[in-house]
Amino acid sequence: MHIARNWRVKKQRYSLTGEICHHCGSKVFPPRDVCPECAQPAYDPLQLSGKGEVYSFTTVYEPPANFQEQAPYSIALIKLEEGPMLTAQLTDVEPNQVHIGMPVEMVTRKLMQDGDEGLIQYGYKFRPRIMAH
């Protein structure tokens, strides 16, 4: 990833900043030019909680370049409490412990590094959330 692009996606990558549509009220992540529900262009920024649950998941055993040291790892489709769904790597959990419906929360973690001395890229991952009784 280029340094300029890294700065452009900083808000959505580090704090899950999405948008809410003026026209239909849909909550959208990542931010888009057009609402996926009503195709209108007007939005307001929306800070998402980072809390949600695993909607679906898979485990990666043969990772792409720059991810070999993390394998095996789980990738999940996360349904956020506010409604949007996103794909993210799971952390702080063994692949055999992941299950559909598992409560999770966003954390900022290292995603990858461009070579031994290159740019370190951070972003969101999700970890299991302890539910209060």
The predicted-structure confidence for 8-19, as pLDDT tens digits, reads as follows 555 555 678 889
The predicted-structure confidence for 11-47, as pLDDT tens digits, reads as follows 555 678 889 998 999 999 988 889 999 999 878 889 9
Q: 0.85 exceeded by the pTM?
A: no
Question: Which DSSP category does 22 fall into?
Answer: T
SS3 48: coil
115: left (phi over 0), alpha (psi -120 to 50) or beta: left
